[in-house]
Amino acid sequence: MHAYPRIKKQDPKIYKMIEREWDRQADGLELIPSENYTSPAVMEAMGSILTNKYSEGYPGRRYYGGNEFIDEIEQEAIDRTKKIFGVPYANVQPYSGSPANLAVYVATCKPGDTVMGLNLPDGGHLTHGWKYSATAQFYKSVPYHVRQDGRVDMEEVRALALEHKPKLIWVGATAYPYQYDYAAFAKIADEVGAFLAADIAHVAGLIVASAHPSPVPHAHIVTTTTHKTLRGPRGGIIMTTDRGIKKDAELASRIDKAIIPGLQGGPHNHQTAAIAIALKEAATPAFRSYGKQIIKNAKALADSLKTNGMTLVSGGTENHLILLDLVPIFGAGGGHFASDALEAAGMTANKNTIPKDPSSAFYPSGVRIGTPAITTRGMKEKDMKKVGEWIARAIHAIQEYRLPEGKDARVAYLAQCKKEIFRNKELLKIRAEIKTFCKKFVLPHTAR
């Protein structure tokens, strides 16, 4: 690794850890759909002198002096957000997606108000009202669900909205292989007088690339992370649309106040600059081609997986994400075995629930994979055929495992299985093949 010489000299122990992570990323396939690689320019901004400055408040309205240049950077990030997404207002200060979403609650609801979002085991996000999240502890959460085919049950959404009269409805998910019907959600929200918030954290880059519909004409509020398909640093953005301002002229002001002083202190200025750089990159023709390639690769990977005996929720994908249904192979709760097998074989994915999961969120029956990161490395449809073969080989190599019915036996059993899986000869063989394959697709920030 030819990087970080100051860390190597000053703290060799941490340097070694970074070096091993560098090698892990370079030598394996990153298939988690919420992960990606930033450009070298974004990484430079994240390590810049901007990290030294405190800047509570907003451009032209700071609590500390010495922010004239920080103001310029933040305003540039705001202006680029407004232009690229076509919105009249943006707040680029959220530390990440979860604080951004919580700020939406603070801006639009009072504690105890009713909210609706996609149930987490059905593919929803924690912050959309999952029972263990603060968003369900402080607000009355009424989750909606997906049908057996994995698509949101819009009839149920409308029925629940008419019955419970929510103040806020979320559209968006974290494990949903379909495109979102923003117009249908908007119609329901208008019918009951609710705010409609679109969480586009997963698909923001696809929207910018015109590879996925935009919620801006339909939603009142739009939130996103800035990593994932947008390929920036870890951060968050909240946007208000023309519809949102028409519904509530004070909405943007309340969102600003929800961030500070409501939830956060000083913004991370190095992160703000990195977001601005990522947005400039996303406005290029090259990025638009990248966004479209993500979906081409996802469809090609889905085809390869099906050819190799894998069962997919929805039978394929309409975006960047694929959800494997592992019940035909492991029975209920096989996500642990599959994710461990993929990791042992040099592929990083995450266990995930599937619609109507026969197990639980703690022991899910699926695995979630995606193509944003491997597309960043330059892989194309022909490469997806091979990736699909590796995934299927890895899962079939450990298909004899079954989750014990008794909960007390599961922890010890899974620990023993993981030891065996990481010694499996077939998985080690795949790992070696993938390491050789990855040498053709260098990381964006590497100079090896």
What pLDDT digit, counting tens, does each position of 101-118 carry?
999 999 999 999 999 999
How many residues does this entry show for the chain?
448
Which residues on neighbouring strands pair with residue 238, listed in sequence order?
91, 223
Whether 447 maps to a domain, the answer reads: no
Burial 85-101 (b: 16+ CB within 10 A, else e): bebebbbbbbbbbbbbb
pLDDT of residue 3: 84
Q: What would the pLDDT profile of 48-102 be if each residue is shown by its tens digit?
A: 999 999 999 999 999 999 999 999 999 999 999 999 999 999 999 999 999 999 9
Strand 221-225 and strand 236-240: the pairing is antiparallel
pLDDT digits (tens, 9 = 90+) for 5-51: 999 999 999 999 999 999 999 999 999 999 999 999 999 999 999 99
User: Is 38 within a domain?
Assistant: no
| CA dist., res. 100 & res. 257, Å (int) | 12
Check whether residue 267 and residue 302 sit in a common domain: no
Q: Are residues 270 and 304 in the same domain?
A: no
- Does residue 448 have a pLDDT over 60? no
Q: Report residue 406's pLDDT band, with 50, 70 and 90 as the boundaries.
A: confident
In this model, does residue 305 exceed pLDDT 70? yes
Answer whether residue 407 shows pLDDT above 90.
no
Of 262, 282, 302, the domain-final residue: 282
pLDDT over 50 (residue 259): yes
> How sure is the predictor about 447, in pLDDT bands with cuts at 50, 70 and 90?
very low
- 322 and 223 belong to one structural domain: no
Confidence check: pLDDT of 189 > 60: yes
Count the domains in the chain. Answer: 2
- Domain end, chosen from 232, 262, 282, is at 282
Long-range contacts of 75-79 (CB under 8 A, 24+ apart): 76/276, 77/272, 77/273, 77/275, 77/276, 77/279
Same domain, 252 and 357: no
Mean pLDDT across the stretch 390-399?
A: 98
Question: What's the pTM?
Answer: 0.95
Which residues form the domain of 371?
Answer: 5-30+292-438
Q: Among 282, 317, 334, where does a domain finish?
A: 282
pLDDT at 148 over 90: no
Domain match, 126 and 183 both = yes
Q: What is the pLDDT of residue 23?
A: 94
| Mean of pLDDT values over 339-357 | 96
Q: What is the band of 209 on the pLDDT scale with cuts at 50, 70, 90?
A: very high
- Assess whether 259 and 389 both reside in one domain: no
Instruction: Provide the annotated active-site residues.
Output: 54, 56, 199, 225, 228, 234
